[in-house]
Amino acid sequence: MRAYLIRRLLQVVPVLFGVSLLVFGMMVLIPGDPARAILGSYATPENVAALEADLALDQPVHMQYVSWITNVAQGDFGRSYSLNRPVFDEITERFTATLLLAGTALVIVVLLGLTAGIVAAVKQHKWQDRAFTIGALVGLSMPSFWLGLIFIVVFALNLGWFPTSGMRSAFGGGGPLDIAHHLVLPATALALVASGVIARITRSNMLEVLRADYVRTAQSKGLASRWVVMRHAFRNAIVAIVPVIGVQIGFLLGGAVYIETVFGWPGIGRMLVNAIGTRDILLVQGGVLLVATSYVLINLAADILQAVLDPRIRVE
């Protein structure tokens, strides 16, 4: 297990290096002069020259990268010109909001997707299976932003059960209950599509393991069918489902861009959309780097969890 862990951690290093190169590349590859792009077309040549020196743009590309990555490693992502505050402060604050949204959605995805998939597999060809299959298909075929709009119309505007947008009420808001209340619609809209994916993969994996010989062995021991399904079948099926959940977390973080825009959620997705609009390159860089890194680390965690769940993976 330890050898697997070390090997897997070492594999992450080149991936993160690649990510940093791509993010850094945004600065180099952007058409025109980055300093001018940051400062806008009315900047004086002195200001542009000062910023170029500040960003090490007057040096060769590889030196630029070294100085950029050194700063990033120290938590210095530069300063957002459009917000006039350190990029680091902005992205950590926004990312917290996104994590809250995506994390809540993840809980819904896991509970709904796994339950639906298990029930559908155990009740194969029965009405529960058909209902879940249709439900999963509908979930899969609906874009989350459209679902979000429908939710706003139905549950916020018509029924008035939930607020239409934002994370806190304007007056006297901000408590845990207030935030939870704001969270319900965007988290559910974000979760439904991913739930469909998990439900389908769970169903097909469960169908496969339910036919396995060791499930028959478990039945022959006199175990209750619920126990057979969970401890013997599901315990095996989950091994293959965990990496898919890892990928879906990436999808939730990415999908948050639409949902945050639709629901006015102050997360990193909406921040990125705005930053791109205002050409705040440093903010875009910081945001993309953070999202990409967390995606890599989440999938690393999923792989490690898979190895914990399946003794065969550890030896390979």
Partner 1 sequence: MTTDIHAGRAGDPLLAVRGLATHFTVEGEVFRAVDGVDLDVARGEAVGLVGESGSGKTVTAMSVLQLIPDPPGRIVDGSIELEGTDLVTASDLVLRDVRGNRVACVFQDPLTTLNPVLSIGEQIVEMIRRHQDLSRKAARGRARELLEAVHIPKPERRLDEFPHELSGGMRQRVVIAMALANDPELLIADEPTTALDVTVQAEILDLFIELRERLGMALLFITHDFGVISELCDRVVVMYAGKVVEEAPVDRVFEDPRHPYTRRLIDCVPALGQGARELEVIPGLPPALNRLPDGCAFAPRCDVVEEACRRGEIALRPLGDGIAARCIKPGARP
Smallest separation, CB 119 to partner 1 (Å): 18
By CB under 8 A, the residues from 11 to 70 that bind partner 1 are none
Question: Which residues 271-310 are close enough to bind partner 1 by CB under 8 A?
Answer: 309-310
- Out of 174, 213, 226, 277, the only residue in the binding site for partner 1 (CB under 8 A) is 213
SS3 82: coil
Residue written as token pair 């896991």: 110
Residues binding partner 1: what is the number (CB under 8 A)? Answer: 25
Interaction between residue 85 and partner 1 (CB under 8 A): no
Shortest distance (Å) from residue 238 CB to partner 1: 9
Q: Which is nearer to partner 1, 23 or 119 (CB)?
A: 119
Per DSSP, 79 falls in state E
- Mark out the alpha helices in the chain (DSSP H runs): 2-29, 34-39, 45-54, 61-73, 87-122, 127-141, 144-151, 176-210, 213-220, 225-227, 235-263, 268-277, 281-309, 311-315
Comparing CB distances to partner 1, the nearer of 46 and 316 is 316
Binding mask 245-274 for partner 1 (x = CB under 8 A): ------------------------------
CA distance 80 to 94: 14
Instruction: Tell me if 311 contacts partner 1 by CB under 8 A.
Output: yes
Between 62 and 125, name the residue whose CB sits nearer to partner 1. Answer: 125
CB neighbours of 259 closer than 8 A, spacing ≥ 6?
Answer: 101, 144, 145, 148, 186, 189, 190, 265, 269
CB nearer partner 1, residue 83 or residue 212? 212
Distance of CA 133 to the CA centre of its chain: 25
Q: Note whether 235 binds partner 1 by CB under 8 A.
A: yes
